[in-house]
Amino acid sequence: MNKNSLNKALSKLNIGGLRYFDSIGSTNDEALAWAAEGAKDLSIVIADEQTQGRGRLNRKWYTPKDSALAFSLILRPASRSHLSRTVGLAALSIADSCRVLGLAPRIKWPNDILLNGKKTAGILVETVWSGEDVDSLVIGMGINVRKESTPPEDLLQFPATSLEDELGKAPPAREEIILSILNAFIHWRTRLGADELIKAWEEILAFHGEQVQVQAGTGNPITGELLGLESDGSLRLNEVNGKSIIVRFGDVSLRPAVIK
Ligand code: ADP
């Protein structure tokens, strides 16, 4: 993968610009800086390796050289509406590209893509504010493509896998995978406000109908049955006492509940 091969693969898309790095700290940091300098809508920062890749709450996201996809899209939304659906838009785009490969992805709400119950991709959405308005959004996506991209188990709290391991054969070139994700993204973006997006997102929610545990901040975890999504993309749970509760985005981690 290099700048030429990427430009060639993405030549038919109407992207705003492309910055390619052999190695970078974090593509989201570069994209946030570029957005602040006025990057055009649908500009892309992509790197072969990230040395300081971030998940939420500054948790580390591993992107070893030559084996993964790590890129950040800059969006210039016209309004603040449907901002909370953006992570779903990104997750569905990655999920669609997995389905094209014959895989069966699930979305671990809000921001991870699972294959066979193992994490294959993660999303980090960050906002550039201009006073009360959203100036731009940066959507970071990290996808484990080749088996070498899967971090060792002792570094993880949740099992991980790669497209190569799940396919059981060599995955397509990373240029092809990013093209497939971006095509899906462009498709879903035009439907950001539509019921169809929530329905498609809900259909592939991991642990749907199962007991899950949600950890928000440092408070006590909430356990309940995962019922589905609200129209803004929030999660709806049914607590053991029958009370229905809505979990909004933010610092929230979801796990299957350990049934004792
Ligand atoms: P959460 O699991 O709470 O949704 P994040 O979405 O913030 O966490 O992702 C960061 C976490 O993902 C890290 O703490 C680490 O356990 C795990 N991780 C980091 N890099 C990878 C990777 N390449 N593949 C799978 N999991 C990873």
Q: Residue 104 — pLDDT band, cuts 50, 70, 90?
A: very high
Neighbouring C-beta atoms of residue 71, cutoff 10 Å: 26
What's the chain's average pLDDT? 94
Nearest to 250 by CA among 237, 238, 235: 235
Exposed, middle or buried: residue 76 (CB in 10 Å: 0-12, 13-18, 19+)? middle
Q: Among 59, 67, 109, which residue has the most ligand 1 atoms within 8 Å of its CB, making it the best to mutate? A: 59
Cα separation, 178 vs 184, whole angstroms: 10
Cα separation, 116 vs 98, whole angstroms: 12
105 Cβ closer than 6 Å to some ligand 1 atom: no
Q: Among 26, 28, 60, which residue has the most ligand 1 atoms within 8 Å of its CB, making it the best to mutate? A: 60
Q: Are 135 and 70 in contact (CB under 8 A)?
A: no
160 Cβ closer than 6 Å to some ligand 1 atom: yes
Radius of gyration (Cα) for the chain, nearest Å?
A: 18
What token pair was written down for 32?
Answer: 């946030």
Cα separation, 71 vs 185, whole angstroms: 13
Helices 86-100, 195-203: axis angle to 10 degrees equals 60
Q: Residue 259 — pLDDT band, cuts 50, 70, 90?
A: low
Q: Residue 221 — pLDDT band, cuts 50, 70, 90?
A: confident
Ligand 1 midpoint to CA 151 (Å): 9
Cα separation, 193 vs 178, whole angstroms: 24
Q: Among 143, 145, 158, 212, which residue has the most ligand 1 atoms within 8 Å of its CB, making it the best to mutate? A: 158
* H/E segment holding residue 5: helix 3-9
Q: Are 181 and 94 in contact (CB under 8 A)?
A: yes
Residue range 3-203, CATH number: 3.30.930.10
pLDDT digits (tens, 9 = 90+) for 133-179: 889 999 999 999 999 999 999 999 899 999 999 999 999 999 999 99
Cis peptide before 110 (omega within 30 of 0): yes
Residue 206, phi then psi, degrees to nearest 5:
-65, 145
Ligand 1 midpoint to CA 120 (Å): 9
Angle at 114 between CA 73 and CA 186, to 5 degrees: 30
249 Cβ closer than 6 Å to some ligand 1 atom: no
Ligand 1 midpoint to CA 55 (Å): 6
Q: Residue 218 — pLDDT band, cuts 50, 70, 90?
A: confident
253 Cβ closer than 6 Å to some ligand 1 atom: yes
109 Cβ closer than 6 Å to some ligand 1 atom: no
pLDDT digits (tens, 9 = 90+) for 58-99: 899 999 999 999 999 999 987 778 888 999 999 999 999 999
Q: Where do the domains of the chain lie?
A: 3-203, 211-256
Ligand 1: which residue has its CA nearest to atom 6? 55
Ligand 1 midpoint to CA 56 (Å): 8
Q: Are 254 and 221 in contact (CB under 8 A)?
A: no
DSSP 22: S
CATH of 211-256, one of 2.60.200.30, 2.30.30.100, 3.40.50.261, 3.40.640.10: 2.30.30.100
158 Cβ closer than 6 Å to some ligand 1 atom: yes
Within 8 A by CB and 6+ apart from 67, the residues are 144, 145, 146, 147, 148, 149, 162
What token pair was written down for 49?
Answer: 């390796």
